[in-house]
Structure 1
Amino acid sequence: MSTERERRAPAGVVVVTGSSGRVGSALAAALDAAGWAVRGVDRTPGRWTGVVGDLRDRPVRLAALRSADIVVHAAALHAPHVGRVADAEFRAVNVDVTAELLDDATRLGARRVLYISSTSVYGHALVPNDRAVWVNEQLTPLPRDIYDETKLAAEALVAACAVSSVTLRIARCFPEPLPVLAGHLLHRAVDVADVAAAGVLAAAHATVTGTFNISGPHPFRREDCLALHRDAGAVLADRVPDVVAAFRDRGWPVPGRLDRVYDSTAAAHAFGYRPVRGIRRLLRDTADGRSA
């Protein structure tokens, strides 16, 4: 007997660039589970990568984009490459490839582009003065390095392209030692599964355009910012006493000061983003002996 997945028609063809990477592969898997026909492209082979090659090569782009309804562009050089890769390479990969991909996608009839950016583009604007910075989309980015500059330039290209587009500025979501990851999940990180869920929602909501932060869930409100900079431990004890107790039971440091809080409210309102894999989920998973 065929399964429901086998009986229903695909939602459409979605191309995922960077499909062998951490974020790209998670997006590809989630889009496949949601009913899309996924075609991945990456320089490195992977579970979701059907086209292996460099997006700077036009035949590779054309092979990937054939019959595509949606393009999810996650391929890029990232922050850890700063200082190890020439600035010109950053521009070629993060900006020039984006421009060429958008041009080809538009001409080949793609109807929507989803660009994976980073909250890193806020740069120097993340530095607090007398209070933690509340990071929503109204905060003006102040790039601090070539990575921030090129991601922001690519965002502008995506916003100006001829087809419907949406940009997701994703928060920190790479593997870290558990105590560090736990601290970041309180206010400035996101689980990659929540990123993937956001991507599926943004792909499905065809009329939604613009730029959205993807982070959380975080336990704070904007009015906490002054206190978070002065005594984050007291705010945490008030907002999430169970989390503070769990940190202390594990011997993990409870932050005394927080410099920022990422706000994903706009994404919640625009396309129903509801992150679920926050600090409490991490604590439950690690208590059960599972890895984060």
Structure 2
Amino acid sequence: MRLERRSAAPGRAVVVTGSSGRVGAALAGAFDAVGWEVHGVDRVPGRWTSVVGDLRERSVRAVALRSADVLVHAAALHAPHVGRLSDEEFRAVNVDVTAELLEAAVGLGVQRVLYISSTSVYGHALVPVDRTVWVDEQLAPLPRDIYDETKLAAEELVAACPLPSVTLRIARCFPEPLPVLASHLLHRAVDVTDVAAAGVLAASHADATGTFNISGPHPFRREDCLALYHDADAVLADRLPDVHAVFRERGWTVPDRLDRVYDSTGASKAFGYRPVRGIRQLLRDVADGQSA
């Protein structure tokens, strides 16, 4: 199929790959809510999926991308697939498809690329030695498995692409038991609603390019890292006494040591990302009966 270049005039049409998945669907919904024309592509049907097909097929890529001004690439194999699928499958889906999508995007006149990566790419660099690891974009990734390796390789392809691009390294954002989710929202998780908001902001700010962490509104600062490693309970009691009290009241474990804290300051400065659904919002939802 011949790829025909479209006009480079600014538009508001976005194609979201992986649009039937948790993150892709949230992104598609957020773009739709602010008036974008949304086209989704996925191997399985979904509310936002207008093209059902495998992105490894050139015809699927061409059909999906020919109406897009912005490509949001969220489709991928993920960490739970490690050990269940071969390394070759990971490379074919996470790396080769990304390369082929970018080539098609250039040929079809797509104006901007947003790639959804993961904070998992930091890998072994997340392991603390004598203090909690402060995870900003200056921390060098040290991949630990084929998932990390292929996501990082895809990031590099996006960065080398001639189209303006943003890569979002999103923190943990899948459903978990409430006490576990509450603990993770303190320092290393993000609500999928905030992820979706970050995606719209990054796509809408034409001057923003580069790689950014996307995590929740965490209450800690870089200078807390030593104390968080040795007595996180005391830091939390001092910084968020109301949250600390709820953990105690509900019998949830208050962490005595944190291994990492994700920092989204770069995204805040570059395109105005302001996460709102952190630990306090979760506790408000629980109190209002909105969460089990």
Shorter-chain TM-score: which interval? over 0.9
Q: Is contact 1:20-1:47 (8 Å) kept?
A: yes
Instruction: Say whether 1:218 aligns with 2:218.
Output: yes
Superposition pairs of residues 1-292 of structure 1, within 5 angstroms: 12-291=12-291
Ranges in structure 1 where 5+ consecutive residues have no aligned partner: 1-9
AA aligned to 2:115 is Y
AA aligned to 2:236 is L
Deviation track 1:81-121 (CA, whole Å, cap 9, x = no partner) reads 00000000000000000000000011000000000000000
1 CA distance for matches of 2:131 and 2:222?
10
2 CA distance for matches of 1:12 and 1:271?
18
Q: Is contact 1:17-1:40 (8 Å) kept?
A: yes
Deviation for aligned residue 1:11: 5.2
Runs of 4+ in 1 over 6 A off after TM superposition: none
Q: Secondary structure of the equivalent of 1:244? A: helix
2 CA distance for matches of 1:111 and 1:66?
12
Deviation for aligned residue 1:41: 0.1
Using the size of structure 2 for normalisation, the TM-score is 0.96
2 CA distance for matches of 1:246 and 1:92?
46
2 CA distance for matches of 1:229 and 1:11?
48
Equivalence for 1:3: none
2 CA distance for matches of 1:263 and 1:11?
32
Ranges in structure 2 where 5+ consecutive residues have no aligned partner: 1-9
RMSD, aligned α-carbons: 0.9
AA aligned to 1:49 is T
User: Percent identity among equivalent residues?
Assistant: 81
Using the size of structure 1 for normalisation, the TM-score is 0.96
Q: Is contact 1:67-1:109 (8 Å) kept?
A: no
2 CA distance for matches of 1:108 and 1:92?
22
2 CA distance for matches of 1:147 and 1:284?
35
Equivalence for 1:4: none
2 CA distance for matches of 1:257 and 1:50?
46
Equivalence for 2:7: none
AA aligned to 2:154 is A
Q: Secondary structure of the equivalent of 1:140? A: coil
Deviation for aligned residue 1:291: 2.1
1 CA distance for matches of 2:36 and 2:115?
17
2 CA distance for matches of 1:115 and 1:67?
18
2 CA distance for matches of 1:253 and 1:68?
47
Q: Is contact 1:55-1:61 (8 Å) kept?
A: yes
Q: Is contact 2:130-2:229 (8 Å) kept?
A: yes
Q: Is contact 1:11-1:35 (8 Å) kept?
A: no
